[in-house]
Amino acid sequence: MEATRAWPVNDTGFAFEVGVLSQSPFVITKQSVPFPVGTAKTGGPINESLTGGTKVAPGHPAEETFTVTNRTGARIDQPLDIQPQFFAPSGVGLALDEWVGSAAHGHWQAATQITVPRGLVNGATDTFRLRIRVTEYRAATATGPADLLLNSPDLRIGSFQKLTVDRSA
């Protein structure tokens, strides 16, 4: 890997991380080694938030709003790819949809990734409407906890939403 003239002006370097996972999906031990590149100064982080419904059932999806705000001090010249992950009980299937188009003339589309387009200027915000739906419910219990994680490992940003999945509405 090398940093060339195309290196984004708002990045000061890169880091390698090695982590040890437990049987849960969360890292229990992590070591990061930073490698500075150039002398760019940033104004701050990329902020994100995930808000909305926390209860989802078959036929009754939960709607979420995912917001990304550029506080880096520079324009972001590459797209930001955000990966959704669900952690749900055995026998429960969840899916994520993104609203595409205008408020009046749009539609829901299955989302395996959320992409913030390149060109997000400093101080600008990009907002995404999301929908979580139950694709299957074969769990033994009537309700159960689940989690939605939206993360971008490259940017070290992530949003987390606790959910309750219900067998019936």
CA angle 91, 57, 142 (to 5 degrees): 55
**What's the CA gap between 158 and 164, in Å, rounded?**
20
Burial class (CB in 10 A: 0-12, 13-18, 19+), 116: buried
DSSP bridge partners of 125: 69
Domain ranges of the chain: 1-41, 43-166
Instruction: Write the class of the CATH domain 43-166.
Output: mainly beta
Per-residue pLDDT of the chain (169 residues; tens, 9 = 90+): 555 555 555 556 666 676 666 666 665 666 677 766 655 555 678 888 999 999 999 999 999 999 999 888 888 888 888 999 999 999 999 999 999 988 788 999 999 999 988 899 999 999 999 999 999 999 989 999 999 998 886 666 678 889 999 998 6
> pTM for the full model?
0.73
**What's the CA gap between 123 and 120, in Å, rounded?**
8
